[in-house]
Structure 1
């Protein structure tokens, strides 16, 4: 059963997921801002969500802070970025951009990173539970492990 769906601006690339996301977070880094033109909010689905993509995408690969590749997938027609895969977070699934969902209002970021780069006018509406200055430090990974790998964690 399709639970979430979306796609690019022109409709050539579409996706659907059969389960709720594993996590939702806000990235304030410069790369995301330059690629999207704004702050990025990622909706992360694990393999169990059975995310399916249709339509051809273009790929842009850049080196992440870890030194490992980060792949960004765009519609080759309208240029909208749809999803991201980062080798440093080899957990399977898909990191889909909030703006690509048909109904983006249903998702709220629970944590954020790169707060030292956060735009000074951007305000939290109370949904952010944890903020990190950078990316993938020990504190961040420990918090993610405790909050997203616990068997009784409810992400909704």
Structure 2
């Protein structure tokens, strides 16, 4: 049963999943900010938990971990859809704004707070903040959530 779905602005790329995100985080790094226009919020899933239709373009760059991040976006409308960081192999971060039901989600953690825009305020949903990327902590949380999915 489809629990969440979404896609790009023009509808060429769509995704569905039967799961809730394992983790939702706000990234304040300069790479995400340049690619999204502001702070980026991602919902983490195992790659096998998400089905996609359409063929996105891929742009690869260095992430805050120093490892590559593969960013996927619609070749027609340019909507940034998801990223696959090599530092978190087997997982993907779907841009929160790409979900059809994105208003129900809120981030629980934020990373790269040392690059956070001064005007951006926490509404009370952030439980953990990290000055850097917190790759180890995020992988640990993802693995715990993956074990619970069984």
Question: Normalised by the size of structure 2, how large is the TM-score?
Answer: 0.89
Number of residues of Structure 1 aligned to a counterpart in Structure 2: 147
CA shift for structure 1 position 56:
1.3
1:122 equivalent in structure 2: 120
Q: How far apart, in 2, do the equivalents of 1:143 and 1:41 lie?
A: 14
Name the Cα RMSD after superposition. 2.0
1:73 equivalent in structure 2: 72
Contact 1:51 1:93 in 2 (8 A): no
2:22 equivalent in structure 1: 22
Contact 2:88 2:139 in 1 (8 A): no
CA deviation digits over 1:85-123, x for unaligned, max 9?
Answer: 011111x23210001000111111110011111111111
> Runs of 5+ in structure 1 lacking a partner?
none
**3-state SS, counterpart of residue 19 of structure 1:** coil
> Runs of 5+ in structure 2 lacking a partner?
none
CA shift in 2, pair 1:11/1:143, >3 Å: closer
Q: How far apart, in 1, do the equivalents of 2:87 and 2:66 lie?
A: 8
CA shift in 2, pair 1:143/1:33, >3 Å: closer
Q: How far apart, in 2, do the equivalents of 1:12 and 1:142 lie?
A: 35
CA shift for structure 1 position 135:
1.2
**3-state SS, counterpart of residue 42 of structure 2:** strand
CA shift in 2, pair 1:143/1:41, >3 Å: closer
Contact 2:85 2:92 in 1 (8 A): no
Q: How far apart, in 2, do the equivalents of 1:150 and 1:9 lie?
A: 33
2:31 equivalent in structure 1: 31
| In the alignment, structure 1 residue 133 sits paired with structure 2 residue 131 | yes
Contact 2:31 2:63 in 1 (8 A): no
